[in-house]
Amino acid sequence: MEVARFTKALDALIARVKGDRAILAAMLCGSLAHDRVWARSDIDLVLVTIDDSKVEPGSLSIDADGVNVHATLLPRAAFRRLAEGATRNSFMHSLLAKGRLLYTHDESITGMCERLRDLGDRDAQVLALGAATEALSCLYKARKFFITRGDLEYSALWILAAATPLARIEVMSHGRLADREVLPQALQLNPDFFTTVYTRLLNERKTTATVEGALAAVDAWLAKRTPAFAEPIVAYLRDAGEARGATEIDAHFQRTMGVEHVSGACEYLADQGVIGRAAIAARLTRKSTADVQELAFYALVPPPDEF
């Protein structure tokens, strides 16, 4: 019943939009495109606009016969960058890849939509690195509060915070798109692990054994999947040929890949013997006259077997 109401509202809206010369294509995204809807659902639309300086990207909330429609306006050039860009599987990429092209006045957009569903190895590595960096930060806090305070609830909370980025790595390792519903996906793909670090911690009474078991399970899981996210770091340090400071590493990955705080992942990799840890001279400010020793990392020669 709800699907029929939403479909009728969508059809009426698209009939009006289709005659707009500034709109080249419309994509249906979100629940109506690939999932279930309910009475309070809305419709997600991405409208590809002409490339014109007077047509700006943006968004608009539309009332379509009582149904809320969230329309995102993307110029054709921006849409093409999403389809062909170096980094896939971002939130917007996932939203579009699971979407359905409703119509287009430009057939090249059809090809762009097909390319959205391709996820390259390099894309997966970069996105796995971002997810790992996020997860490792949460897991550090989980272990800290478990060891220093014995606070089972707070430690479990941080493990649960890590579950979503860990799920992204799991889903991408199977060549699938990681979207907002990534935890249910990961639970199907690896039920034993995600029951331990997600559903059991969420639903059952926290004990020393369950929290300690979850931390141990994460350690084992990460050890097996380290190559999935470590390769960009190892390659960067190998190409550098010498130690690089944490500040420089963070700036490089933020600038080139949009991944923040990679030095945190470097600390983990150094602890695991994947890369080396060092210290290099640095100045606190441009006007400083005294040196301090900054944390740095370097590629191992020969590299670990996985690399």
Least confident of 117-121, 207-211, 257-261: 117-121
* Residue 271 tokens, joined: 């602890």
Q: Give the domain extent around 273.
A: 121-298
pLDDT of residue 307: 65
Q: Are residues 135 and 271 in the same domain?
A: yes
Amino acid at 132: A
Residue 29's CATH number: 3.30.460.10
CA distance 5 to 274: 55
Domain boundary among 52, 82, 115: 115
CA–CA distances in Å: residue 285 to residues 203, 247, 254, 288, 291: 49, 13, 21, 5, 10
Q: Are residues 133 and 245 in the same domain?
A: yes
Consecutive H or E run containing 182: helix 182-189
Q: Are residues 108 and 177 in the same domain?
A: no
CA distance 65 to 17: 14
Q: Mind listing the pLDDT tens digit for each residue in 268-300?
A: 999 999 999 999 999 999 999 999 999 999 999
Q: Are residues 92 and 155 in the same domain?
A: no
307: in domain? no
Residue 207's CATH number: 1.20.120.330
Q: Are residues 279 and 142 in the same domain?
A: yes
Closest CA to 42 of 64, 25, 12, 18: 64
Closest CA to 30 of 58, 66, 71: 71
304: in domain? no
Q: Are residues 130 and 215 in the same domain?
A: yes
Q: Mind listing the pLDDT tens digit for each residue in 153-175?
A: 999 999 999 999 999 999 989 98
Closest CA to 33 of 95, 82, 83, 92: 95
305: in domain? no
163: in domain? yes
* Count: domains in the chain: 2
Q: Which residue has the higher pLDDT, 101 or 56?
A: 101
* Residue 231 tokens, joined: 């390769």
Cβ neighbours for 290, distance < 8 A, ≥ 6 positions apart: 283, 284
Domain boundary among 115, 137, 154: 115
* Residue 101 tokens, joined: 């092209």
pTM for the structure as a whole: 0.81
